[in-house]
Chains A and B, each alone.
Chain A
């Protein structure tokens, strides 16, 4: 079946620290991969995506590379800010984004 496993949270970092949130997946076929972010009290926002192996998605200083050989899509940012505090969801999409399967979410808190 299709599933996504994310690094368990919560994750707490200091401002300007390096961030990695691990995400691995199992899927039949060739899914698209997504990272969504949910700020407090808001809905999910698409952060970045990759549609095929070796693609790198990037946005707002975040990036993730679709690694087929390790079935991973780890989220990274070189220097986090307080405003990055949110819950991050990794997801895989079947037939593009026609059916999304989400990981359990990772709560990130950045302290000044």
Chain B
């Protein structure tokens, strides 16, 4: 149980184009989804937190107009990197949690590697 999928797993795009990444909770309803960015050999950096039906909460330093997050349902969140540039190349990981309670756990997707040429 508690499986989170991401699509696509890899994407290569030209500079200036937009890329959408999907995150789905397959066997549970995710009240909250999280988007992280992982740089090579570095830890995960939380970009934003989204609750179903609400606007995402972005971490300090993350441009909300560049990284658009939509959490349209309890099983789907999308991250759109708008007007991507080479410095946006990274490994993007989503996670989901179900209840938000004190014993809750985040379950992670397999990640999406974005390469911007």
Contacts and interface: CB of A to CB of B under 8 A. Distances in A.
A32 interface: yes
Interface in B93-115: 93, 95, 97, 100-111
A7 B101 CA distance: 30
B100 A51 contact: no
A100 B95 CA distance: 11
B95 to A, nearest CB: 8
Interface string B49-72: 100000000000000000000000
A32 B105 CA distance: 10
Q: Which of B95, B101, B103, B106 has the most CB of A within 10 A?
A: B106
Nearest to A30: B102
A66 B110 CA distance: 28
A98 B32 contact: yes
A27 interface: no
Interface string A92-105: 01011111101111
A96 B111 contact: no
Contacts of A45: 108
B19 interface: no
A17 interface: no
A46 B2 CA distance: 11
A62 interface: no
Interface residues of B, number: 25
A100 B100 contact: no
A42 B4 CA distance: 12
A92 to B, nearest CB: 12
A42 B110 contact: yes
A96 B100 contact: yes
Contacts of B104: 96-98
27 contacts: A32-B102, A36-B108, A42-B110, A43-B6, A43-B111, A46-B105, A46-B106, A46-B107, A46-B108, A49-B105, A93-B106, A95-B102, A96-B97, A96-B102, A96-B103, A96-B104, A97-B97, A97-B104, A97-B105, A98-B97, A98-B104, A99-B46, A100-B34, A102-B43, A102-B44, A104-B43, A105-B43
